[in-house]
C-alpha cells in the first residue's frame, strides 16, 4: 500500500477502500436473506425479485439465466487499450472463428459502433443489451466508451447499456457511469489476497507508472472492491466475474465470493480458465490447466449458499453478437454494416419482445405444472442430464448438430441449471464422427441422460455403451417439463428394480476456444 | 533518446497514445508510431516513459538507436 500513498487522488481512494468495508457489510442482495436459497440469482424469476431489479434483469441475457434463452446481446469493440496484464490473456492472438474473452476481429470507432448497434437491432429484434467488454478495458478507453454509450442511448433508447471492466479505473468513473444510463457493470475479480493476485497479474499501469508483484495486486484488489461498493451505493447492478484457476485461486474464490457479496454484488459468475498453449498466454505456455466440470460445479455450489451464481456464461468474444450460445458477429463486419440501409423500428422491436414475454410465461406455467406432479415423489437421487437446444426453451437440436449442451441437475425438489458444455472444439480436426463423438461424451460424461430432437443409430449405441441414456421421445417439447417427466419415470424404474442408479464420473470443460456458428 | 515502436509487435491497442505528454504518438497503417522530434522520454513529466510502462507487449517501445546521434562518426 505504501507504494501508492500520496500519488494523487486515485491512490488515496485506493487506501480508503478498507475503511468502507464495514459500512457496506450489511448491504447486498436484499432478496436472498430470508429464504436461505439463491433467490435473486441467475435463475430467479419475476416472483423472486423486487420489481425494480426484475425490470433491470428480465431481458438481460447475462444477468438472467432464463432471459438468455430468449434475448440477445452485442458487444462493440471500441476499447482496445488495457491497463493491466493478466496471465490468462494474450492480446496478440485473434481468429475470426474463435470465441473467448479479449478477442475481436476489428476494432470500431464510436460512430461505427452505433451504426452496427442499429443494424443489429433492426436484424435481431431480441437484441436488448449492448455491452462494451474490450478487447481491452472499457475504462482504460474512457472517451471512446462513454462516447459510444452517449450515441447509442440517443439513437436507440430501448437498448440497455452495460460494461465489463477489470476495475482498476472504476472508482474514477463511477459517476460518469451513473450519468451514462449504464444499468449493469461487470467487474472481473479473481482475488482479494495480493499473494494470490501476484500469481495472476504480472503488472498493472496505474497513476502513470507500472506496478508489479504484490504492490500491483494490492492496488488492483483495493480499487476493484472500492469500485464495487461505489456502484452498489448508486444502485447500479453489479456482476462479479472470477476466473477459476486450479491450485492458484480455486479455494480462495469462496473468500472472494464473501467479499463481493458483502459489498452488494448482485451475481457471481465463476468461469473456468481457458488455457491452451497455442494462444500464447502465460498460463497456456506453462501448462496451467483449467478445472474439470465437477471441480467447477463444486466451487459454484460452495458459493451458492452465500450468493447468486451465474452458470450460463459463454465466455464470449468482445465483439460477439446474438444469443449467448451463438455468435453472429460475422454477419455484422464493418464492411457489411456500412453498406446496410438500417431502419430502427422501435414499435417492431417492442411487438417482438412482447411475443417473447408471452412465450416465457407459457413455458414457466408448463414447468410449474410438471413440478407439481413430482412433488409427491420422495427420493435421495440427484443426477445430471444434458439437453440439446437451439433456444426458446425447447428440445429442438439434433444430437449431431449440437455445439453445446445445457446441463441440469434433477432431484425431487426440481431442476437446477448447472451450466453448459461446449463440444465443438477445434481438436476434432478432420478425423470425423468418431472423434466428435468422443469429444461430446467427454463433455457430458457426468450426465445420466442426454435429451435431443433426433439422434442417429451409431451415436445412440455408443452413448448407451458409455452409460448415458439418449432420450429423443420429447423432441420439440419444452425441456424443463420434459426432463422432470423423464426423471419421474427414472425414479419409477429404479423403484421397480428395472434399472439400478449408479453415480457418474467427471466431465471435461473445453480448454480450447470454440468455433463460431457455422 | 527518443523511443520508437516496433511495428511488427504493436497490437495497435492504442494504450500509449493518450498517455504521451508530448502528443508524439499517432496511428499509421495499423500500427502506432512515435514522432522522434517530439519524444522527450517523459523526462520532466513522469518517472517512467509512459509508452513503455503501458505497452502490453514487452520490448515493443524501445530506444531508437538507428538515429544519427547513435551512429559512430565516420
CB-nearest to B53 from A135, A143, A210 is A210
pLDDT at A517 over 50: no
Kindly state the percentage of chain A with pLDDT values over 70.
82
Distance between CA atoms of residues A60 and A73, nearest Å: 8
Say which range, A70-74, A109-113, A190-194, B70-74, has the weakest mean pLDDT. Answer: B70-74
Q: Which of A80, A143, A210 sits opposite B13 (nearest CB)?
A: A80
Indicate yes or no: CB of B48 within 8 angstroms of CB of A209: yes
Distance CA A516, CA B68 (A): 50
- Interchain CB distance below 8 Å, A208 and B11: no
DSSP state, A83? S
The minimum CA-CA distance between A86 and chain B, rounded to whole Å, is 10
**β A182-188/A237-244 pair status:** parallel
Residues of B in contact with A92 (CB under 8 A): 11, 57
If one compares A287 and A376, the residue with the highest pLDDT of the two is A287
Residue of B nearest to A206 (CA): B54
Residue A34 in this model has a pLDDT that exceeds 50: no
Distance, CA of A503 to CA of A360 (rounded, Å): 33
> What is the percent of chain A with per-residue pLDDT over 90, rounded to a whole number?
34
Nearest to A444, CA basis, from A425, A421, A467, A466: A421
CA–CA distance, A204 with A197 (Å, rounded to integer): 11
A18-27, A102-111, A342-351 — most confident range: A342-351
The mean pLDDT value of chain A amounts to 80
Question: A97-106, A277-286, A452-461 — which one is most confidently predicted on average?
Answer: A452-461
**Res. A288: pLDDT tops 70:** yes
Question: Does residue A321 surpass a pLDDT of 80?
Answer: no
Model ipTM value: 0.89
Q: Reply yes or no on whether the pLDDT at A6 is more than 50.
A: no
Report how far residue A364's alpha carbon sits from residue A65's, in angstroms, rounded to the nearest whole number.
Answer: 13
Which of B14, B16, B44, B56 to mutate to probe the A interface, most A CBs <10 Å? B56
Q: Do A29 and A308 touch, CB atoms closer than 8 A?
A: yes
Q: Which residues pair with A404 in a beta bridge?
A: A422
Measured distance CA(A177)–CA(A55) in Å, rounded: 19
Residues recorded for chain A:
518
Distance from CA of B3 to the nearest CA of A (A): 17
pLDDT digits (tens, 9 = 90+) for A405-459: 989 999 888 888 888 888 864 334 445 566 778 888 888 999 999 999 999 888 8
User: Cα separation of A59 and A131, whole Å?
Assistant: 14
Q: Is B50 on the interface with A (CB under 8 A)?
A: yes
Least confident of A24-33, A46-55, A267-276, A410-419: A24-33
Considering only CB atoms, which chain A residues are within 8 Å of B47? 208-209
Chain B residue with the nearest C-alpha to that of A142: B18
Cis, peptide link before residue A135, omega less than 30° from 0: yes
Higher pLDDT, A373 or A445: A445
Chain A interface, mutation test: which of B6, B7, B10, B13, most A Cβ atoms within 10 Å? B13
Quick one: pLDDT at residue B68?
Answer: 66
CA max distance for chain B: 40
| Helix and strand numbers, DSSP H then E, in chain A | 15, 18
B48–A contact, CB cutoff 8 A: yes
Kindly list the residues from chain B whose CB atom is less than 8 angstroms away from the CB atom of residue A82: 13, 15, 56
State the Cα–Cα distance between residues A515 and A403, nearest whole angstrom. 9
DSSP A254-288: HHHHHHHHHTT-SEEEEEEPP--GGG--HHHHTTP
| Mean pLDDT comparison of A167-171, A308-312, A331-335, A460-464, highest-scoring range | A167-171
Q: Which residues of A touch B13 (CB under 8 A)?
A: 80-82, 91, 135-136
Report the alpha-carbon distance of residue A102 to residue A185 in Å, rounded: 17
How near does any CA of chain A get to the CA of B47, in Å? 7
In which band, very low, low, confident or very high, does the pLDDT at A274 lie, cut at 50, 70 and 90? Answer: confident
Residue of B7, B11, B46 for testing the chain A interface, max A β-carbons within 10 Å? B11
Which of the two residues, A490 and A330, has the higher pLDDT score? A490
Mean of the pLDDT values across residues A261-284?
Answer: 86
Pairing assessment for the beta strands A182-188 and A203-206 based on DSSP bridges: unpaired
Find the DSSP H helices in A61-109.
none
Question: A94: nearest CA in chain B?
Answer: B11
Q: Examine the pLDDT at A1 and tell me if it is beyond 50.
A: no
Residues of B in contact with A140 (CB under 8 A): 15
Per-residue pLDDT at A52: 75
Per-residue pLDDT tens for A199-250?
999 999 999 999 999 999 999 999 999 999 999 999 898 999 999 999 999 9
A130 φ/ψ angles, rounded to the nearest 5 degrees: -115, 125
DSSP-derived 3-state class of residue A405: strand
Tell me: pLDDT of A95 over 50. no
- Is the entire prediction scored with pTM above 0.90? no
Residue A42 has pLDDT above 60, yes or no: no
- Residue keyed to cell 428480465: A58
Q: How far separated are the first and last CA of chain B, in Å rounded?
A: 20
B60 touches chain A (CB under 8 A): no
Mean pLDDT, residues A249-261: 94
Residue A514 has pLDDT above 70, yes or no: no
Most confident of A143-147, A356-360, A505-509, B66-70: A143-147
- Specify the pLDDT at position A341: 78
Which DSSP string do the residues of A412-473 spell out, in sequence order? TTEEEEEEEEE--BGGGTTS-HHHHHHHHHHHTTT-SEEE-SB--HHHHHHHHHTT-EEE-T
| pLDDT level of residue A376 (50, 70, 90 thresholds) | low
Q: What is the pLDDT of residues A100-141, one digit of tens each?
A: 555 566 788 999 999 999 988 888 888 888 999 878 899 999
Q: Does position A27 have pLDDT exceeding 50, yes or no?
A: no
Amino acid at each position: 500500500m505504501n507504494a501508492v500513498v500520496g500519488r494523487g487522488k486515485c491512490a488515496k481512494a485506493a487506501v480508503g477502500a478498507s475503511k468502507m468495508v464495514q459500512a457496506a457489510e450489511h448491504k447486498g442482495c436484499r432478496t436472498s436473506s430470508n429464504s436461505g436459497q439463491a433467490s435473486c440469482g441467475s435463475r430467479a424469476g419475476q416472483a423472486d425479485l423486487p420489481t425494480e431489479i426484475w425490470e433491470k434483469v428480465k431481458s438481460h441475457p447475462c444477468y438472467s439465466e432464463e432471459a438468455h434463452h430468449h434475448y440477445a446481446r452485442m458487444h462493440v469493440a471500441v476499447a482496445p487499450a488495457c491497463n493491466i496484464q493478466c496471465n490468462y490473456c494474450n492480446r496478440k492472438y485473434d481468429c475470426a472463428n474463435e470465441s473467448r474473452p479479449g478477442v475481436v476481429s476489428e476494432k470500431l470507432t464510436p460512430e461505427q459502433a452505433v451504426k452496427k448497434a442499429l443494424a443489429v437491432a433492426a436484424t435481431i429484434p431480441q437484441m436488448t443489451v449492448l455491452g462494451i467488454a474490450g478487447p481491452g478495458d472499457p475504462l482504460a478507453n474512457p472517451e471512446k466508451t462513454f462516447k459510444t454509450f452517449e450515441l447509442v442511448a440517443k439513437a436507440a433508447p430501448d437498448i440497455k447499456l452495460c460494461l465489463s471492466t477489470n476495475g482498476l479505473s472504476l472508482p474514477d468513473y463511477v459517476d460518469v457511469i451513473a450519468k451514462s444510463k449504464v444499468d449493469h457493470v461487470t467487474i472481473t475479480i479473481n482475488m482479494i489476497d495480493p499473494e494470490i493476485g501476484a500469481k495472476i497479474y504480472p503488472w498493472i499501469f496505474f497513476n502513470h507508472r507500472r506496478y508489479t508483484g504484490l504492490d500491483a495486486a494490492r492496488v488492483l484488489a483495493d480499487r476493484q472492491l472500492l469500485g464495487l461498493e461505489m456502484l452498489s451505493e448508486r444502485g447500479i447492478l453489479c456482476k462479479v466475474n472470477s476466473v477459476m484457476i486450479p491450485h492458484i485461486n480455486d479455494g480462495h474464490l469462496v473468500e472472494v465470493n464473501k467479499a463481493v457479496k458483502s459489498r452488494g454484488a448482485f451475481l457471481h459468475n465463476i468461469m473456468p480458465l481457458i488455457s491452451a498453449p497455442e494462444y500464447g498466454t502465460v498460463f497456456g505456455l506453462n501448462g496451467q490447466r483449467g478445472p474439470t466440470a465437477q471441480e467447477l460445479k463444486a466451487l459454484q455450489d460452495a458459493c451458492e449458499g452465500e450468493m447468486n451464481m451465474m452458470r450460463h456464461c459463454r465466455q464470449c468474444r468482445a465483439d460477439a453478437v446474438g444469443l449467448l450460445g451463438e455468435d453472429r458477429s460475422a454477419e455484422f463486419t464493418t464492411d457489411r454494416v456500412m453498406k446496410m440501409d438500417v431502419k430502427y423500428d422501435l414499435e417492431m422491436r417492442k411487438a417482438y419482445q412482447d411475443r417473447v414475454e408471452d412465450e416465457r410465461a407459457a413455458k414457466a406455467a408448463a414447468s410449474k405444472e410438471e413440478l407439481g406432479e413430482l412433488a409427491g415423489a420422495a427420493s435421495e437421487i440427484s443426477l445430471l442430464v444434458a439437453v440439446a437446444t437451439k433456444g426458446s426453451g425447447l428440445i429442438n437440436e439434433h444430437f449431431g448438430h449440437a455445439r453445446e449442451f445445457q446441463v441440469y441437475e434433477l432431484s425431487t425438489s426440481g431442476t437446477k441449471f448447472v451450466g453448459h458444455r461446449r463440444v465443438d472444439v477445434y481438436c476434432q480436426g478432420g478425423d470425423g464422427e468418431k472423434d466428435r463423438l468422443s469429444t461430446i461424451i467427454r463433455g457430458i460424461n457426468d450426465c445420466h441422460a442426454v435429451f435431443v430432437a433426433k439422434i442417429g443409430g451409431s451415436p445412440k449405441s455408443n452413448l448407451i455403451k458409455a452409460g448415458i441414456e439418449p432420450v429423443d421421445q420429447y423432441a420439440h417439447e419444452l425441456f424443463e417439463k420434459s426432463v422432470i417427466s423423464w426423471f419421474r419415470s427414472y425414479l419409477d424404474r429404479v423403484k421397480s428394480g428395472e434399472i439400478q442408479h449408479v453415480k457418474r464420473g467427471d466431465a471435461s470443460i473445453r480448454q480450447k476456444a470454440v468455433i463460431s456458428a457455422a | 533518446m527518443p523511443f520508437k515502436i516496433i511495428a511488427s509487435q504493436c497490437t495497435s491497442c492504442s494504450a500509449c497514445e493518450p498517455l504521451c505528454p508530448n502528443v508524439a504518438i499517432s496511428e499509421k497503417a495499423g500500427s502506432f508510431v512515435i514522432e522522434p522530434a517530439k519524444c522527450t522520454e517523459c523526462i520532466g513529466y513522469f518517472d517512467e516513459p509512459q509508452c513503455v510502462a503501458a505497452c502490453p507487449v514487452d520490448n515493443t517501445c524501445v530506444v531508437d538507436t538507428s538515429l544519427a546521434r547513435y551512429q559512430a562518426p565516420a
